[in-house]
């Protein structure tokens, strides 16, 4: 028997997990952590949602999730991404999708971006180091572009700009 929705999430500091759980609660979808997901599990569902974080311009874990989905034969893949970039940065988000999805995927895979924030307290040691390097590099740089200035402000400390409202478009799509 095929079930309806499986939501697979990959989360390091909790933002993606929170959005995944909200979507699961509202749609009755089953919510499963990425490390527990398999192609066999996906094959039991009509729709597989993969949620992850933006990670240095990439969707963390997307290639592996996509391979699992393709192997599973499940019907529809949906992707959502959380990130520190505010939703208002429409061009940045558009470019992000273009970098991560092929033209074909942009057409066929419904994709949703949700602003979240940054949480240094829960970040892994490796991620903290990466952010430290980025902060040092930006601090040193002269003649920073507008984007670089924005990024410098954005990564200075922890903040939470997540909200239930940002998961609504995904929920509406899943309930359609």
Ligand X SMILES: Cc1cc2nc3c(=O)[nH]c(=O)nc-3n(C[C@H](O)[C@H](O)[C@H](O)COP(=O)(O)O)c2cc1C
Distance in Å, CB of 124 to ligand X, minimum: 8
Distance in Å, CB of 62 to ligand X, minimum: 13
CA distance 136 to 123: 18
CA distance 55 to 76: 24
Q: Which of residues 53-82 bind ligand X (CB under 6 A)?
A: 53-57, 82
Distance in Å, CB of 155 to ligand X, minimum: 8
CA distance 97 to 100: 5
- Interface with ligand X, residue 118, by CB under 6 A: yes
Among 27, 48, 83, 101, binds ligand X (CB under 6 A): 83
- Interface with ligand X, residue 88, by CB under 6 A: no
* Closest CB to ligand X among residues 108, 122: 122
Residue 6 φ then ψ, to 5°: -115, 130
Give the nearest residue (CB) to ligand X: 83
Which residues have a Cβ under 8 Å from the Cβ of 131 and sit 6 or more positions away? 120, 123, 155
DSSP state for residue 121 in the 8-state scheme: T
Radius of gyration from C-alpha coordinates of the chain: 17
Residues that bind ligand X in the complex, under the rule CB under 6 A: 11-17, 53-57, 82-85, 116-118, 123, 127, 130-131
């Amino acid at each position: 028997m095929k079930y309806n929705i499986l939501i697979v999430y990959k989360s390091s500091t909790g933002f993606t997990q929170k959005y995944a759980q909200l979507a699961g609660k509202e749609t009755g979808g089953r919510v499963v952590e990425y490390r527990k997901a398999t192609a066999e599990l996906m094959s039991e569902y009509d729709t597989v949602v993969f949620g992850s974080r933006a990670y240095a311009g990439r969707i963390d874990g997307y290639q592996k999730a996509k391979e699992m989905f393709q192997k599973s034969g499940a019907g529809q893949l949906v992707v959502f991404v959380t990130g520190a970039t505010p939703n208002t940065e429409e061009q940045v988000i558009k470019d992000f999708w273009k970098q991560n999805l092929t033209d074909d995927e942009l057409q066929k895979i419904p994709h949703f971006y949700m602003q979240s924030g940054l949480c240094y307290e829960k970040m892994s040691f490796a991620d903290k180091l990466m952010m430290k390097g980025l902060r040092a590099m930006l601090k040193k740089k002269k003649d920073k572009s507008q984007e670089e200035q924005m990024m410098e402000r954005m990564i200075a400390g922890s903040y939470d700009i997540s909200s239930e409202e940002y998961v609504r478009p995904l929920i509406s799509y899943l309930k359609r």
